[in-house]
Copies of this chain bind each other. A is one copy, B any other.
Amino acid sequence: MDLIRMLDVDGLAHGLADMSMFPYFDVAHYVVSIMALREQPGVVEVSRRSPFACWFSSMLFCFGGAVLSGVMMAEPPIAPLSNSTAVLLASLIWYLVFYCPWDLLYCCAALLPFRLVLSGMKEVTRTWKVLGGVTQASGKYQDSLLVMIAIGWAKGAGGGLIANFEQLVRGVWKPETNELLKMSYPTKITLMGAVLFSLQHTGYLPLQKHHLMLFYTVFNVVNKSRIVITGSSSSPFALVESVIYRTLFSSSSIHSSSFTALNPDTKKAVANNQLRRYSDSTPSKEPGESRSPSLGSSLRGKKEDRRTAKTKEQEDNGCKKTD
């Protein structure tokens, strides 16, 4: 019985691993990515004023991972443009999403059942992209786990990681936000995937590649579907993150330390920092809020939502990314 179930999983995993992303899954990726761009504030205006900048932004949303991993590996970031079929397909979808008569494509794809299916299919491509990045990195740097993780992550979540520069194309500059300062859910899940696939590749994770592909894909698709249906953006890692954060990074010792720094400037700067931190922490009542960046911010998010709905909404839109 167990053997048969095992065989089933194995067959399913092999089937998944042999599946081609082109054209259906790629199309889903382009549709979801370009719709995510369109839902950012100000983009519809840009699409009217400057179709070219809008197209370029769309391409960065679709191929951002390849561009970023190219830059990091000193391989031509222009390379995605050499795949004419993919670029023409993405351009066609860009055109339909932004300029389709009666806005047909966008309206259809925004319907819940379609959005659910497309988002699920897009999550499938993430597995392939992360794995592609890990394999590409391992070809150049055999034993380097860190490089594999970095390239796998960049390839899978490139659109989000280069968001600052993608926004610059559209004339928007938000230096105070980036995916390193405050990771979004897709960036986190991609980082986790990059770590797992790198560990599998170096043999530290006793799992076969197609099994890992299956598990990671199913986890992603299920989670994404939950997010699309419930609209909640609570991370499945919130608890783990919170524990790690409290254990490693919340030593309150820094407050009580007495500095004997050489430089009086330094002393003052640190004192100012402490003062500011103190005044910041005073009004916070929940211990979790100021401790865990993910847990805290999601809680805060919910509360503020009720208060300043409009501002928050704009912000959220600014951060919502599907890379």
Contact = CB atoms under 8 A, between A and B. Distances in A.
Interface string A63-105: 0000000111111111001101001000000010001111100
A48 interface: yes
Rank and list the top 3 A-B pairs by shortest CB-CB distance, nearest first.
A173-B175, A103-B257, A110-B261
A276 B76 contact: no
A76 B87 contact: no
Contacts of A22: none
B164 A171 contact: no
B72 A147 contact: no
Contacts of A70: 74
B168 A175 contact: yes
Interface string A30-72: 0000000001011011111111110010000000000000111
Interface stretch (A11-19, A123-131, A180-188, A214-222): A180-188
A183 to B, nearest CB: 7
A311 interface: no
A39 B269 contact: yes
Contacts of A46: 181
Interface string A245-268: 100111101101111111101101
A64 B273 CA distance: 26
Nearest to A265: B313
A231 to B, nearest CB: 7
Contact-size category for A = 35 or more
A231 B293 contact: no
A178 B169 contact: yes
Contact of A276 (B45, B164, B272): B45
Q: Which of A169, A171, A180, A270 gathers the greatest number of chain B CB atoms within 10 Å?
A: A180
Contacts of A150: 78, 81
Secondary structure at the A interface, as helix, strand, loop or mixed, is: helix
A205 interface: no
Interface in A125-162: 140-141, 144-147, 150-151
Given A77-B74, A101-B253, A262-B112, A168 B164 contact: yes
Contacts of A249: 47-48, 51, 99
Contact of A259 (B76, B110, B259, B293): B110
A293 B24 CA distance: 35
Contacts of A280: 45
A229 to B, nearest CB: 9
Contacts of A173: 173, 175-176
A228 interface: yes
Contact of A293 (B49, B250, B313, B316): B49
Contacts of A115: 262
Contacts of A314: 269
11 contacts: A44-B273, A51-B245, A81-B144, A82-B141, A99-B248, A100-B251, A103-B253, A171-B176, A171-B178, A265-B316, A269-B317
Q: Which of A107, A110, A259 gathers the greatest number of chain B CB atoms within 10 Å?
A: A110
A3 interface: no
A39 to B, nearest CB: 5
